[in-house]
Amino acid sequence: MKDSAISAEPTRPAERSTRDLARAAMSGWLGTAMEFMDFQLYSLAAAIVFNKIFFPDVSPAIGLIAAMATYGVGYVARLAGAVYFGRMGDRIGRKKVLYLTVLLMGASTTLIGILPTYAMIGIAAPILLVVLRLVQGFGAGAEIAGATVLLAEYAPVRRRGLISSLVSLGTNSGTLAASGLWAVLLAVLSEEQLLSWGWRLPFLLSFVLMIFAVWMRRGLKESPVFEKRADVVDGVALARDEVESAIATADEKQSNVLAAGVRQRKGKAFFLALGLRFGQAGNSGLIQTFLVGYIAANLAVGRSVPTDAIVYGSLVGFATVPVVGLLGDRFGRRPVYLALTLLTIAVAFPVMLLITSGSTPGVMIGMVVGLNVGVLGLFSLESVTMAELFGARTRFTQLALAKEIGGILATAIGPVLAATLTAVTGSWWPIAVMLIVYSLITLVSAFLAPETRGRDLVRLEDAV
């Protein structure tokens, strides 16, 4: 080993000013806001109008299932994007990847807003919809993972949970913006206006957010951990050139980025992260996507009630997310995870009883509680815990893969499965059961996971 490579202590992250941290925080928040605004716009459109304008020649139940399926295919593309851009982010840096992902997301979402409908071009309309959904998903596949990694690697150790929770606030902001736009459209437009041109407006407006996000990321500095990542063995740190050599060896010099990401060895940390992801992702798909369509189709409440409930729940989430982040910094990730998942399991049936009561207040209260306990609270913890579980060598790739595989298995499949089960049983109870099952998976994973609060993110190896 070269003398210059020897150090008694691990290499520490490069210094970043408060201004740098603020810009990184704003960039991470804005990118994830855009990602979730785009996806929530699509999910609400799938639940409310896409079954009528892209699948008009089938029964309402089959149309809802088909619309939910187009929502789900985006998660397949997200997995490919997670592998491709995740590997790129681990090799060339976080900020370059985040610049590319925001461009792909924004362009595809805007183009959805100008798509011809089934009445205009027939079967080509849903085909084009699926194509744009795939492009949107490919770009989004590494967006939230990249923002999560960037904020965790920028943050001071003692406030890592709070600062990383800004990613969750970004998702909440995006969900709120999309839900708010749809709530306004449903309130002011007639059914005919909504189906003819009104549904296009939210997708077209996302173009403005894309321009702002691109501008913000142009001046962003690279992650300090990426610049100074080091592998420590028996108290000796490798220099940067040796780290790059070690990474190249570990990658087996694969020229195909997708193949390298798929073949990359997955350890215990990856499967624990996947389990942690399951509860939040599955609950999100049920509460924020499926229940919106289910309530509109099956309950005698106003058509804007479910979207209004998401708006109110998202507003409450601006308090829930940072509070959970602070609790994780104060008491550790594991105990807060265990408490939230147990609470979600306990309220699953009461929440569904409230939602299906047929009263507007019941729907509102049930949706707000379910969203904040079972989705936003878990997301706040997930952002920092998954980043801390992985080592700096493959943090971006593994985190992106865990998020997107969990998304496919839970968020994408969940609404389709829920639509099928509720249609077969004619009842709401399968939704409550699915909420419990998803939360149990995360409960077990949190129990088995190590405590990661305060972990040195410069180290290349995983926490377990």
Q: Is 234 exposed, middle or buried (0-12, 13-18, 19+ CB in 10 A)?
A: exposed
- Residue 117: its pLDDT value, please? 81
Q: How far apart are CA 168 and CA 20, in angstroms?
A: 20
The pLDDT score that the predictor gives to residue 209 is 80
- Output the pLDDT for position 234: 37
CA end-to-end span of the chain: 27
**Strands, E, within 218-375: which ranges?**
232-233, 236-237
Does the 9-448 domain belong in CATH 1.20.1250.20? yes
Q: What is the pLDDT along the chain (464 residues), one digit of tens a residue?
A: 333 333 334 445 556 667 777 777 777 777 778 877 887 787 778 777 777 777 666 556 665 666 666 666 777 788 888 888 888 888 887 878 888 888 888 888 888 888 888 778 877 887 888 888 888 888 888 888 888 888 888 888 888 999 888 888 887 788 788 878 888 888 888 888 888 888 888 888 888 888 887 787 777 777 778 877 644 433 344 444 444 554 555 444 444 444 444 445 567 999 999 999 999 999 998 998 788 878 877 876 777 788 788 889 989 999 999 999 999 999 999 999 999 999 999 999 999 999 988 788 999 999 999 999 999 999 999 989 999 999 888 898 999 999 888 878 887 788 889 988 998 998 999 999 999 999 999 999 999 999 999 898 888 889 88
Return the pLDDT at 233: 37
Q: How far is CA 445 from the centre of its chain?
A: 19
- pLDDT score for 232: 40
CA dist., res. 51 & res. 315, Å (int)? 29
- What pLDDT score was predicted for residue 181? 85
Determine the pLDDT at residue 8.
Answer: 36
Contact 20, 221 (CB under 8 A): yes
- Residues in Cβ contact with 451 at an 8 Å cutoff, skipping those fewer than 6 apart: 332, 333, 334
Q: What is the 3-state secondary structure of 65-114?
A: HHHHHHHHHHHHHHHHHHHHHHHHHHHHCHHHHHHHHHHHHHHHHHHHCC
Angle at CA of residue 342, ends 338 and 344, nearest 5°: 120
DSSP track, 313-359: HHHHHHHHHHHHHHHHHHH-HHHHHHHHHHHHHHHHHHHHHHHTTS-
Closest-CA residue to 355 (of 283, 413, 432): 432
